[in-house]
């Protein structure tokens, strides 16, 4: 890891601006890479668990879309263990996120970039960057993003280290959006319809997409028993 980049990033993170550790990660992500916004998503396996932080409203919307739709730069970066670069959502060379791209464009993002976050063989999630104008990151921006993703991964693991097994560290839970109601609703749907948990989550996402809502609101209706999903049609 280039020492000068690491020192510059750590120095910025060390500045006491009154923000908690987790939110500062996203603010610094956006600053050091000179983009319009950043978000950090935790993933377990191939499944998004929620956002540690976002730097602005558009980043929040990008994370929400990825969580609801199950597609986007963070999810691909985590699955492929490699940076994902989309310099123009409006005119991509290789279309890959039909639903996400249209909604992200509507939210004000024109270019998005995903960087996996891992320490050794421990993969914790991905960092998302966006810009409101098209274009690739410069070589320096890309290099800064790689270092920032490594720093963020280590910071998250450090925050989580002291938490009891099976729980989320207080710093992460306080600042993040982990949508615990979605996990609860997924379990309810799986039990009600006698389907695997992964299928239950897909049903929640499909209903959210079809109804133009986010998956958190749909999940809350399921938990409050205002909504019962139909079983999947295997005919």
pLDDT tens per residue, range 159-197: 766 666 655 555 555 445 556 677 677 788 888 888 887
Task: Give yes or no for residue 12 having a pLDDT over 90.
Answer: no
Asked if pLDDT for residue 235 goes beyond 90, the answer is: no
Please check whether residues 61 and 137 belong to one and the same domain.
Answer: yes
* The two structure tokens encoding residue 223: 């938990």
Q: Is the domain of 75 the same as that of 191? A: no
Confidence bin at 201 (pLDDT 50/70/90): confident
The whole-angstrom separation of Cα 102 and Cα 104 is 6
Judgement on whether residues 16 and 98 belong to the same structural domain of the protein:
yes
Q: If you average pLDDT over every residue of the chain, what do you get?
A: 84
Residue 233 domain-assigned (yes or no): no
What does the pLDDT read at residue 191?
Answer: 85
Tell me: do 64 and 24 sit in the same domain.
yes
Whole-number pLDDT of residue 218: 81
Q: What is the pTM of this model?
A: 0.76
**In this structure, are 101 and 210 located in the same domain?**
no
Does residue 68 have a pLDDT over 90?
no
Q: What is the CATH number of the domain that holds 48?
A: 3.30.450.40
DSSP class per residue in 40-107: EEEEETTEEEEEEEESSHHHHHHHHHHHHHS-SHHHHHHHHTS-EEES-TTS-SS---HHHHHHHHHH
Average pLDDT over residues 106-116: 97
* CA-based nearest residue to 58, from 83, 36, 32: 36
- Cα–Cα distance for residue pair 123/205, rounded to 1 Å: 24
Q: What is the mean pLDDT of residues 222-229?
A: 85
Within-domain flag for 174? no
Same domain, 157 and 187: no
Task: Report the share of the chain in percent with pLDDT over 70.
Answer: 85
- pLDDT exceeds cutoff 80 at 6: yes
Residue 123 and residue 187 in one domain: no
CA 189-167-151 angle, to 5 degrees, is: 110
Residue 119 pLDDT grade (very low, low, confident, very high; cuts 50, 70, 90): confident
Structurally, the chain folds into a number of domains equal to 2
> What's the pLDDT band for 205 if we cut at 50, 70, 90?
confident
Rounded to 5°, the CA angle 184-186-192 comes to 105
Say what the pLDDT of residue 222 is: 84
Residues 115 and 185 in one domain: no
Of 79, 115, 76, the C-alpha closest to 97 is 76
Same domain membership, residue 143 and residue 83:
yes
In order of 10, 112, 147, 160, 164, the CA distances from 170 in angstroms are 22, 29, 25, 8, 10
pLDDT at 91 over 70: yes
Split at pLDDT 50, 70, 90, the class of 147 is: very high
- Say if residue 82 is in the same domain as residue 144: yes
- CA–CA distance from 208 to each of 27, 62, 68, 204 (Å)? 30, 16, 7, 6
Handedness of CA 129, 57, 107, 215 (dihedral sign): positive
One domain for residues 117 and 214: no
CA-closest candidate to residue 201, choices 177, 217, 183: 183
Specify the pLDDT at position 3: 79
Residue 232 falls inside a structural domain? no
Question: What pLDDT is stored for residue 170 in this prediction?
Answer: 55
Whether residues 110 and 147 fall in one domain: yes
Q: Is 228 among the domain residues?
A: no
- Who has greater pLDDT, 159 or 80? 80
Q: Which helix (H) or strand (E) holds 119?
A: strand 111-119
Contacts of 159 by beta carbon, 8 Å cutoff, 6+ apart: 21, 22, 169, 171, 172
In a domain, 235, yes or no: no
Segments forming the whole domain that contains residue 191? 180-223
More confident residue, 117 or 13: 117
Last residue within a domain, chosen from 164, 198, 213: 164
**Token pair listed for 31:** 């600053």
Report if residue 109 sits inside a domain. Answer: yes
Quick one: pLDDT at residue 1?
58
């Amino acid at each position: 890891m280039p020492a000068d980049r690491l020192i510059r990033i750590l120095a910025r993170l060390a500045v006491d601006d009154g923000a908690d550790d987790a939110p500062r990660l996203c603010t610094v992500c956006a600053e050091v890479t000179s983009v319009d916004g950043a978000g950090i998503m935790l993933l377990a396996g191939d499944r998004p668990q929620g956002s540690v932080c976002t730097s602005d409203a558009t980043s929040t919307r990008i994370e929400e879309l990825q969580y609801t739709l199950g597609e986007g730069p963070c999810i691909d970066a985590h699955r492929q263990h490699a940076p994902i670069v989309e310099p123009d959502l409006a005119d991509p060379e290789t279309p890959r996120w039909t639903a996400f791209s249209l909604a992200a464009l509507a939210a004000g993002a024109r270019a998005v970039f995903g960087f996996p976050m891992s320490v050794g063989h421990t993969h914790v999630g991905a960092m998302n960057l966006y810009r409101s104008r098209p274009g690739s990151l410069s070589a320096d921006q890309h290099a800064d993003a790689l270092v920032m993703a490594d720093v963020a991964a280590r910071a998250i693991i450090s925050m989580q280290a002291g938490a009891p097994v099976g729980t989320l560290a207080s710093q992460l839970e306080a600042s993040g959006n982990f949508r615990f109601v979605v996990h609860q609703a997924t379990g309810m749907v799986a039990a009600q319809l006698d389907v695997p948990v992964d299928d239950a989550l897909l049903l929640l996402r499909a209903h959210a997409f079809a109804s133009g809502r986010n998956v958190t609101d749909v999940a809350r209706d399921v938990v409050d028993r205002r909504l019962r999903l139909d079983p999947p049609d295997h005919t």
